[in-house]
Amino acid sequence: MLEINTYAATSATGDLVPTRITRRDVGPHDVLIDIKFSGICHSDIHTVRGEWGDQQYPLVPGHEIAGIVTEVGSDVSRYTVGDRVGVGCMVNSCRECVNCLAGEEQYCLAGNIGTYGAKDVDGTITQGGYATHVVVNEDFIVRIPEGLELDVAAPLLCAGVTTYSPLNHWNAGPGKKVAVIGLGGLGHMAVKIAHAMGAEVTVLSRSLKKQEDGLKLGADHYFATENPETFEALAGSFNLIINTVSASIDISAFLQLLSLDGALVNVGAPAEPLPVNAFALITGRRSFAGSMIGGIRETQEMLDFCAEHKIGAEIEVISAEDINKAYERVLASDVHYRFVIDTSTLV
Ligand SMILES: [Zn+2]
Ligand SMILES: [Zn+2]
């Protein structure tokens, strides 16, 4: 077993601290990855603080992993030492259910095995990417194409695919009007990707504070939702709305902004149920839907798309010792637009 450096939570309430953990030996189908960069996702904070269920500690979060292959198991066929690779939100699934067989492992009927805080096939608890190394089965690894730097690629593994998947599924593209609610880690990727797909993109943000950023990222229009006139001006406008906000918002008001057959897709996960007025749905044959990350095949497709269109995340690279400070800034929405840990600082 390989003993490595990480930053881990030791309780639901304390700071993350330097912690040594072990990784399993590289099995026949495993790949050992030397992690170079690891993004900080809002989910990391919810999870380590026990807000999405009790955890076992120490817990190493991180599911936006980019690095280099340093060892491969005897039966690994698709990767070799030196390959640039990524790992996202899951590291295994049952591989047998109808959803796994369809390549939608994120919706595995047995539950996909999360990159951290989940029970692995060997009964141990998975540990994530705020670490120098990780061992992952080759079927849950993706290739980071040349031309995409590892630091800006890391957040694509969660924030990128979480927004790419619904944009892809609901056919964002030329002639389609797409709105993005919220311009944070997820929202800024939704804007970049929808723009690259050829859609006309509108940001719906609480205020106009980030308007300049939004337009620079590729939005065609920018509206403040704190202004009630926005909802009158944009009524019936959009084919697709991606809601990246995990706070509770007035879904029925936003549904009225959809055109006939439009869909509002939640990718944020508010803790409280969201009430929906059925009239807002039936008066325009509208849908209220949800979407969670993407399958491995689609994650690779997203990375290839981003490389082709020269899209990376907007990032702020930090040292491991600044992780706790970064968490506070994420909670205060003070991040432009993703923190990425330089894992060479995990000493
Ligand atoms: Zn995430
Ligand atoms: Zn399955």
How much is the pLDDT for 246?
A: 87
Quick check: 41 pLDDT over 90? Answer: yes
Instruction: Please determine, for residue 247, whether its predicted confidence score (pLDDT) is greater than 90.
Output: no
**Separation of CA 295 and ligand 1 centre (Å):** 14
The average confidence (pLDDT) of the chain is: 97
* Dihedrals phi, psi of 171, to nearest 5 degrees: 60, 45
Mean pLDDT over 212-238 rounds to: 98
Ligand 1 centroid to Cα of residue 128, in Å, is 11
Ligand 2 centroid vs 304 CA: distance in angstroms?
Answer: 25
Q: Does residue 24 surpass a pLDDT of 90?
A: yes
Q: How far is the CA of 4 from the centre of ligand 2 (A)?
A: 30
Relative to the alpha carbon of 244, which ligand is closest?
A: 1
Query: Which pLDDT band, with edges at 50, 70 and 90, does 28 fall under?
Result: very high
Torsion angle, alpha carbons of 272, 277, 281, 283, to 10: -170
- Which ligand lies nearest to the CA atom of residue 105 in the structure? 2
Over 90: is that where the pLDDT of 240 sits?
yes
- Between the CA of 94 and the centroid of ligand 2 the distance, in Å, is 4
What domains are there in the chain, each with its CATH number? 2-158+314-345 (3.90.180.10), 160-290 (3.40.50.720)
Q: How many CA atoms lie within 13 A of 225 on its CB side?
A: 19
For residue 202, pLDDT over 90 is answered with yes
Q: Is the pLDDT of residue 180 over 90?
A: yes
pLDDT tens digits, residue range 73-124? Answer: 999 999 999 999 999 999 999 999 999 999 999 999 999 999 999 999 999 9
Ligand having the closest approach to the CA of 44: 1
Q: Any idea which ligand is nearest the CA of 38? A: 1
Q: What percent of the chain has pLDDT over 90?
A: 96
**CA 347 – ligand 2 centroid, Å:** 37
Position 314 pLDDT exceeds 90: yes
CA-to-CA separations, 324 to 26, 41, 242, in angstroms, rounded: 31, 13, 29
The rounded Å distance from CA 218 to ligand 2 centre is 36
- 310: left (phi > 0), else alpha (psi -120 to 50), else beta? left
User: What is the mean pLDDT of the segment spanning 276-281?
Assistant: 96
Nearest-ligand number for the alpha carbon of 98? 2
Mean pLDDT of 133-144: 98
- Model pTM? 0.97
Q: What does the pLDDT read at residue 268?
A: 87
Cα 10 to ligand 2 centroid, rounded to whole Å: 31
pLDDT at 136: 98
Contact (Cβ atoms closer than 8 angstroms) between residue 213 and residue 336 = yes
Q: What confidence tier does 153 reach under pLDDT thresholds 50, 70, 90?
A: very high
**Is residue 347's pLDDT more than 90?**
no
By the 10 Å C-beta count (0-12 exposed, 13-18 middle, 19+ buried), 116 is classed as buried
Q: Please, which pLDDT band fits residue 299 given cuts at 50, 70 and 90?
A: very high
